[in-house]
Amino acid sequence: MLVHETMYVPAMEAFVRAQVTADLPVKFDSFMAHMKASHTASEDVGRIAQEAGVKTLELSHLTPAIDSIDDETWRAPMAKHFNGEIIVGKALTVVRRA
C-alpha cells in the first residue's frame, strides 16, 4: 500500500481563480507554481503508485480540501495510470486488511 498526498489541479486552479479579486490580488501564476512545487498532481500520483508496484493507493491530504469533490473525481486521473485499488482517505478513515 502507498499512502500519498494529491492535488486535483483543475479544482485548485478554479479555487485560486475565485480568490483573485481587487481586494485580494493573488498572483495566479506564482501561486499555482508554488502549489505544483509543493504537491503532487493526481495523474502523477497514479504513475508513482504504478511504478512502485503497490496493489492499493490511499489518498491523503487532498488539495484543495473541498467537500464537493466526489471520490470518483479524485480517482479518475490516477486510474489512467494505476490499475490497483484507490482509496480516497478522509478524516478518520480506517483501512483494515486481513
For 17-63, write each residue's pLDDT tens digit. Answer: 887 765 565 678 888 889 999 999 999 999 999 999 999 999 999 99
* pTM (predicted TM-score): 0.82
14-18, 19-23, 62-66, 73-77: least confidently modelled range? 19-23
pLDDT value at 76 more than 70: yes
Q: Could you tell me where the beta strands, DSSP code E, fall in 23-78?
A: 56-63
Q: Dihedral angle at the C-alpha atoms of 54, 57, 61, 67, nearest 10 degrees?
A: 170
